[in-house]
Amino acid sequence: MNKMIEVEHFTKRYGDFTAVDDISFTVDEGSIFAFLGPNGAGKTTMIKMMADVLLPDSGQILYDGRDIHIIGDEYRAKVGYLPQEISFYSNFTGKDYLAYSAALKGMEKSYAKQRIDELAHHVGLQNDLKRQCRAYSGGMQRRLGIAQALLDNPEILILDEPTAGLDPLERVKFRNIISAYSNDRLVLLSTHIVSEIEHIASKIMMMEYGVIRYVNTSEEYIKMAKNCVWLVKMSAEKLVEYQNNAVISNVIAKDGAMEVRVIDEEKPFANAVQTAPTLEDVYLYIFHYLPQKARR
């Protein structure tokens, strides 16, 4: 049987504020599971509990049928974790940071050296390892963090906003690394950027106010907004007025007018032409047309 993660009734409060409210779901081996939602939705809180660095107030998590608090260190040894914020020791080079992380993971030295070289190449930092990582750009620090999470080939890879600060080419490379990696492993990641995960996540949990809105595949989401995305031509003046009362996912200047991508359950204009949704359209549709009231 495949290994899986089962989260049962996770709840986390900060004081009397409920950040995660009774969330349950499962993640199968060989899959990429994504948490998607606006800032403040509770993604980081979920990720920290899955990485076992934050205790839930109630609920439990099973890996391969066993409670991770009972297996403890054995679980954490299987997890590679990229936190949303990393702090680096002031004079560490990229190489120092990775070597130090490898030592904390108990990796044997020559294996650690081999993995550091390999991963530095994968994330495109091979020429920067001798520089101090505090001087790295945000994107380079993120890539260094991704290399750290992958160091000892973890069975479970947990990444909080892994693509924050990456440029478009780095994002493509990241997606390829993660897709290849997920073959016989479990990958969990969070993002608030819809297009990052549309084509790689096996399951996407949309969350808001600490609760699950939906857990679906991309294809299932696309079906939800199937008849709700329209292309409309209008003048720039008209758009300025129209946009205050409409859900607009994109605008392209075309032939002296604006081609506006509108999310609407009904045909918004006589000249509107229906078009196929992207996951980003669906996200806008769900958060505007099927709103969740704050419960906390």
Q: Which is nearer to ligand ADP, 17 or 270 (CB)?
A: 17
Q: Which is nearer to ligand ADP, 46 or 120 (CB)?
A: 46
Binding of residue 44 to Mg ion (CB under 5 A): yes
Binding partner of residue 162 among ligand ADP, Mg ion, none, CB cut-off 5 to 8 Å per kind: none
Q: Which residue is nearest to Mg ion (CB)?
A: 44
CA distance 250 to 194: 14
Q: Which is nearer to ligand ADP, 43 or 95 (CB)?
A: 43
* From 79-87, 138-146, 150-158, 282-290, span contacting Mg ion (CB under 5 A): 79-87
Q: Which is nearer to ligand ADP, 209 or 221 (CB)?
A: 209
* From 36-44, 170-178, 215-223, 256-264, span contacting Mg ion (CB under 5 A): 36-44
Q: What is the DSSP pairing of strand 229-234 with strand 273-274?
A: antiparallel
Amino acid code (one letter) for 253:
A
Q: What is the DSSP pairing of strand 66-67 with strand 79-82?
A: unpaired
Residue 69 burial (CB count, 10 A) = 12
The residue ranges that bind ligand ADP (CB under 6 A) are 14, 17, 19, 37, 39-45
User: Are the beta carbons of 97 and 133 closer than 8 angstroms?
Assistant: yes
Nearest distance in Å: CB 37, ligand ADP: 6
User: Are the beta carbons of 271 and 262 closer than 8 angstroms?
Assistant: no
Q: Which is nearer to Mg ion, 84 or 132 (CB)?
A: 84
> What are the start-end ranges of the H helices in the chain?
43-50, 68-71, 73-76, 94-104, 109-122, 138-150, 168-181, 218-224, 236-242, 279-289
Interacting residues toward Mg ion by CB under 5 A:
43-44, 84
